[in-house]
Chains A and B, each alone.
Chain A
Amino acid sequence: MKKEKFKIDFPSDEEIARQISFIVKEGLPKKETFIKQVYTIYQQLGFRFLFPNITELTFISILIAIFLFTTGLQAREYFEAESGSVYTFIFVTSPVVYLVICSFSWYHMWDNRTYELEMTCKYDLFQLTAVRMLAFSIFCFALNTVFIIAMVNSYHHISFVKAFLISTTGLFLFSTLTLLVLMNNKSKIIKISLLVGWIAVNLFAFIWSKNFYLLVLNNISISVYAVINVSLVVLYIKHLQKMMQFRKTEGVA
Chain B
Amino acid sequence: MLVVNHVSKSYGKFEALKDINLEFSNGVYGLLAPNGAGKTTLIKMLTTLIFPSSGEILYNGTNIARLGEKYRELLGYLPQDFGYYKNYSPRQFLSYLGALKGMDKKVVNKRMDELLKLVALEDVATKKMKKFSGGMIQRVGIAQAMLNDPKILILDEPTAGLDPKERVRFRNLLSELARDRIVILSTHIVSDVESIANEIIMIKDKQVLYKGSIDEICKKIAGMVYETSIPYEQANMFKKEVFSLSEKQEDGLLKIRFISKKTPEPTWTAVKPNLEDVFLYVYRDDIQESGAS
Interface residues of A (CB under 8 A from B): 44-46, 49, 52, 112-124, 128, 245, 247-249, 251-253
What string of 1s and 0s marks CB contacts (under 8 Å) between B79-109 and chain A? 1011111000000000011011110000000
Question: How close is B174's CB to chain A, nearest CB, in angstroms?
Answer: 19
Q: How far is the CB of A40 from chain B (nearest CB, A)?
A: 9
Q: Please report the number of residue pairs spanning A and B whose Cβ atoms sit closer than 8 angstroms.
A: 77
Q: Which 7 pairs of residues, A with B, have the shortest CB-CB distance?
A: A113-B83, A121-B100, A122-B102, A114-B83, A116-B79, A253-B50, A251-B51
Contact B99–A120 (Cβ < 8 Å): no
Which of B18-26, B41-49, B194-202, B250-258 lies at the interface with chain A? B41-49
Q: Could you tell me the distance in whole angstroms from the C-beta of A51 to the nearest C-beta in chain B? A: 12
Contacts A44-B102, A112-B83, A115-B83 given; does A120 touch B50 at CB 8 Å: no
Whether B68 lies near A120 (C-beta < 8 A) is no
How far does the alpha carbon of A117 sit from the alpha carbon of B155 in the complex, in Å?
Answer: 12
Chain A CB within 8 A of B142 CB: no
Does B247 interact with chain A (Cβ within 8 Å)?
no
Residues in chain A near residue B81, CB distance under 8 A: 113, 116
**Bound complex: CA A45 to CA B82 (Å):** 22
Q: Which residues of B contact A118 (CB under 8 A)?
A: 100
Most buried by A among B66, B96, B97: B96
Q: Known pairs A45-B99, A117-B144; list 8 more (Cβ under 8 Å).
A: A49-B100, A113-B84, A120-B48, A121-B102, A122-B101, A124-B100, A249-B65, A251-B51
User: Which chain A residues border B75 with CB–CB below 8 Å?
Assistant: 120
Chain A residues with CB under 8 A of B144:
117
Q: How far is the CA of A117 from the CA of B79 in the complex (A)?
A: 7
Asked if B44 contacts A121 (CB within 8 A), the reply is no
Number of interface residues of B (CB under 8 A): 27
In the bound assembly, the distance between CA atoms of A251 and B52 in angstroms comes to: 9
Question: How far is B50's CA from A116's CA once the two chains are assembled, in angstroms?
Answer: 10
B90 to chain A, nearest CB (A): 14
Give the one of B44, B82, B100 with max A CB within 10 A: B100
B65 touches A121 (CB 8 A): no
Could you pull out 29 A-B pairs where Cβ atoms are within 8 angstroms? Answer: A44-B99, A46-B99, A49-B96, A49-B99, A52-B85, A113-B82, A113-B83, A113-B84, A114-B84, A114-B85, A116-B49, A116-B79, A116-B83, A117-B77, A117-B82, A117-B83, A120-B47, A120-B48, A120-B72, A120-B75, A120-B77, A121-B100, A121-B101, A122-B72, A122-B100, A249-B65, A251-B51, A252-B48, A253-B49
User: Using a CB-CB cutoff of 8 Å, which residues 101-121 of chain B contact chain A?
Assistant: 101-102
